[in-house]
Amino acid sequence: MSDIPLISVVIPCYNYGEFLGEAIDSVLNSTFQDVEIIVVDDGSTDPVTTAMLSALTKPKTRVIKQRNQGVAAARNSGILAARGTYILPLDSDDLIHPTFLEKAFWIMELFPRIGFVSPWVKAFGTENWVHDAPQYSFYTQLSRNITCGTSLFRKEACIQAGGYKSGFVVMGYEDWDFWISLGEKGWHGYQIFERLFLYRRHGRSMVHEAIDHHEQLVEQIKARHPMLYQEDYMEALNRKWELSPLLDMSPRILKGSAWHHYSTKPMTARLPKWLLLVPQTRRDRLSARCLNFIDGLHADYYSVTMVATEFIKDSDVDEFSWLTSDIFHLSLYVPKIELKLDIMERLISKLIVTRGIDRIFLLGSRQGHYLLPYIQNGFPRIPIEVIE
């Protein structure tokens, strides 16, 4: 396996040292482990931050220093130093869910035309709210920013787009302009309907300042992409996305893909490692017997990976968080996967191998029943129990 990471997480930091350690740890605790973390010190002046950055010894993490130039320049510096195929920008006061990188990586590897993958947002801290964006459409993206600032993107796409642009009247809309630039170069986005980005709220931020200058910033964005905002182009683009939505794309696991060999965070060695194949990740969609079985488990005694196989519009990763954070609702990463059993079998097998699963429970999953012979053939030594 190569020593070059697949994903580079770029964390600009300006006087947010009190939160930085948590942001880094949320990346280190990811199920996906082929990562490097690049902290860009954007000319911090706060003594707590400068002391923390000087003493930082987190695994897989290095610090780059520059004079204060703003978040766009800081991200660009980190991207320039990044070795990964994929980039995740993460602000130093925010967090990511443990499964976000792995799920976004799957989507990137399965759909070569996708240039960036965005999660839904859950705010915490002084405010508690959620933001659930629609599935990606370039037409919609031009009108309003439906892509989370903390989205995984291809470094190749970033280079083509020229990176993040500075020079706005105030900071805050650089990411919106960036996603438009990627779309302008022909790259598609993809929205995961799970709240995998944790957005810390702690008083007034540059986002509030940007909202106060919304109209001016929008005019600057339009001025930077004049061809995109012509009326005839917008009309044609709207028709295109209505007639040919992204969800019609077919997944491909390409030969030589990094999907075959990425590394994951080891499961707790001393605990039994169980895979639960369920139809849904919502309690009201599971049978009483299946729920009784799940509710009888405890995170102190089992390392559990939960995989749902049927179509769903959205998934709440907190529904069973008392038991595990390792929850995958496959139809959210591969549209219509319930009709693509070969891809589903590959994804389930990947989870079995990377988690070191030693027991499988089939809990009312119809697709799981169809795949049972293939799973048994691929993993003849792993016992499988069926609970309806």
Q: What is the pLDDT of residues 70-123, one digit of tens each?
A: 999 999 999 999 999 999 999 999 999 999 999 999 999 999 999 999 999 999
Look-up of token digits 């016992």:
383
309 and 363 housed in the same domain: yes
The model carries a pTM of: 0.96
Interval 150-171: pLDDT, tens: 999 999 999 999 999 988 766 7
84 and 167 housed in the same domain: yes
184 and 302 housed in the same domain: no
- As a whole number, mean pLDDT of residues 340-365 equals 95
Quote the mean pLDDT of the chain: 93
Which structural domain, as residue segments, surrounds residue 328?
A: 273-386
195 and 70 housed in the same domain: yes
Model confidence at 1: pLDDT above 60:
no
215 and 312 housed in the same domain: no
In a domain, 255, yes or no: no
In a domain, 379, yes or no: yes
| C-alpha closest to that of 89 among 72, 103, 102 | 72
Model confidence at 338: pLDDT above 90:
no
**Residue 209: per-residue pLDDT:** 76
Which one-letter DSSP state was computed for residue 248? G
**Residue 259: per-residue pLDDT:** 83
150 and 238 housed in the same domain: yes
166 and 222 housed in the same domain: yes
Print the SS3 string covering 136-200: CCHHHHHHCCCCCCCCEEEHHHHHHHCCCCCCCCCCCCHHHHHHHHHHHCCCEEEEEEEEEEEEE
Burial string for 344-379 (b: 16+ CB within 10 Å, else e) reads: bbbbbbbbbebbebbebbbbbbebbeebbebbeeeb
